[in-house]
Amino acid sequence: MTLRKKIILFSSVFMFLVIAISHTAIYFLFYRTASNGEIDQLHIQADALVSTIAENNSLSEEAMGELLKAYLPANGIIRIINETENDVLPVQTKSNRYTDLSVSYTTSETSRIVQDDNTGSNFAVIEKPIIWESGEIVTVQVANELVYLDETMGTLTYVLLFSSAVILIPTVIASIVLSRFLLTPIQKLKDTMRRNILNKNWQKIDVDERSKDELYEMETTFNEMIDSLKENFEKQEAFVSNASHELKTPIQIIKSYAQLIERQGKKRPELLDESVGAIDSEADRMQKLVEQLLLLAKHKNEEQKQAVNIQTIVKQVIQTFQKAYPERSIQLEAEAGNYESFGNIDQLKQIPYILIENALKYSEEAVLVTMHTDTEKTVIQFKDDGEGIALEEQEKIFDRFYRVDRARNRETGGTGLGLAIAKEIIERHDGEITVESEIGQGSTFTWILSK
Rounded Cα distance between 222 and 217, Å, is 8
Rounded Cα distance between 30 and 21, Å, is 14
pLDDT digits (tens, 9 = 90+) for 42-64: 999 899 988 888 888 777 888 88
Residues 281 and 421 occupy one common structural domain: no
**Could you give the C-alpha distances from 126 to 48, 203, 209, 394, in angstroms and in order?**
12, 82, 72, 104
**Could you give the C-alpha distances from 183 to 7, 12, 127, 177, in angstroms and in order?**
10, 18, 65, 10
Amino acid 406: pLDDT? 47
Report the percent of the chain where pLDDT is more than 90: 21
Residue 174 lies in a domain: no
Residue 182 lies in a domain: no
Residues 295 and 421 occupy one common structural domain: no
| Residue 151 predicted with pLDDT over 70 | yes
Amino acid 415: pLDDT? 60
Per DSSP, 91 falls in state: P
Rounded Cα distance between 50 and 142, Å, is 10
Residues 133 and 251 occupy one common structural domain: no
Amino acid 356: pLDDT? 92
Residue 97 lies in a domain: yes
| Number of compact structural domains in the chain | 3
What is the mean pLDDT of the segment spanning 185-208? 78
One DSSP character per residue, 109-139 reads -EEEEEE-TTT--EEEEEEEEEE-TTS-EEE
Residues 366 and 267 occupy one common structural domain: no
Kindly indicate the confidence band of residue 409, based on its pLDDT and cuts at 50, 70 and 90.
Answer: very low
Residue 186 lies in a domain: no
Residues 30 and 125 occupy one common structural domain: yes
Last residue of a domain, one of 259, 274, 301: 301
Residues 68 and 125 occupy one common structural domain: yes
Q: Answer yes or no: are the C-beta atoms of 223 and 196 closer than 8 Å.
A: no
Q: How many CA atoms lie within 13 A of 356 on its CB side?
A: 28
Report the percent of the chain where pLDDT is more than 70: 91
Q: Could you tell me the pTM of the whole model?
A: 0.47
Residue 192 lies in a domain: no
The answer to which of 169-178, 182-191, 423-432 has the lowest mean pLDDT is 182-191
Average pLDDT, the chain: 83
Expressed as residue numbers, the domain containing 110 is 3-153
CATH number for the domain that contains residue 391: 3.30.565.10
Give Rg (Cα) of the chain: 51
Rounded Cα distance between 160 and 150, Å, is 15
Amino acid 295: pLDDT? 66
Amino acid 227: pLDDT? 83
37-46 in b/e form (b: 16+ CB < 10 A) is: ebbeebbebb
CATH number for the domain that contains residue 49: 3.30.450.20
Kindly indicate the confidence band of residue 419, based on its pLDDT and cuts at 50, 70 and 90.
Answer: confident
The answer to which of 69-78, 215-224, 341-350, 421-430 has the lowest mean pLDDT is 215-224
Q: Is 359 helix (H, G, I), strand (E, B) or coil?
A: helix
Amino acid 245: pLDDT? 62
Residue 163 lies in a domain: no
Amino acid 370: pLDDT? 96
Amino acid 115: pLDDT? 84
pLDDT digits (tens, 9 = 90+) for 245-259: 667 767 877 888 888
Residues 343 and 288 occupy one common structural domain: no
Displacement of CA 75 from its chain's centroid (Å):
66
| 339: exposed, middle or buried (Cβ count in 10 Å: 0-12, 13-18, 19+) | buried
pLDDT digits (tens, 9 = 90+) for 352-386: 988 998 898 888 889 999 999 998 899 999 999 98
pLDDT digits (tens, 9 = 90+) for 83-118: 888 888 888 988 888 888 888 888 889 998 888 877
Residues 384 and 309 occupy one common structural domain: yes
Q: Answer yes or no: are the C-beta atoms of 244 and 255 closer than 8 Å.
A: no
Residues 290 and 308 occupy one common structural domain: no
Residues 291 and 334 occupy one common structural domain: no
Last residue of a domain, one of 272, 301, 330: 301
Residue 175 lies in a domain: no
What is the mean pLDDT of the segment spanning 139-166? 90
Amino acid 408: pLDDT? 44
Amino acid 407: pLDDT? 44
What is the mean pLDDT of the segment spanning 316-340? 89
Q: Answer yes or no: are the C-beta atoms of 337 and 372 closer than 8 Å.
A: yes
What is the mean pLDDT of the segment spanning 24-45? 90
Rounded Cα distance between 77 and 84, Å, is 19
**Sequence-ordered list of residues with C-beta below 8 angstroms from that of 131, at least 6 positions apart, any chain:** 54, 137, 138
Residues 337 and 221 occupy one common structural domain: no
What is the mean pLDDT of the segment spanning 21-36? 91
Sheet with 330-334: strands ordered across? 330-334, 367-373, 377-384, 442-450, 432-438
Amino acid 371: pLDDT? 95
pLDDT digits (tens, 9 = 90+) for 268-314: 777 777 788 878 877 877 787 677 667 666 655 555 788 999 999 99
Q: Answer yes or no: are the C-beta atoms of 197 and 22 closer than 8 Å.
A: no
Residues 296 and 309 occupy one common structural domain: no
Last residue of a domain, one of 282, 301, 320: 301
Residue 197 lies in a domain: no
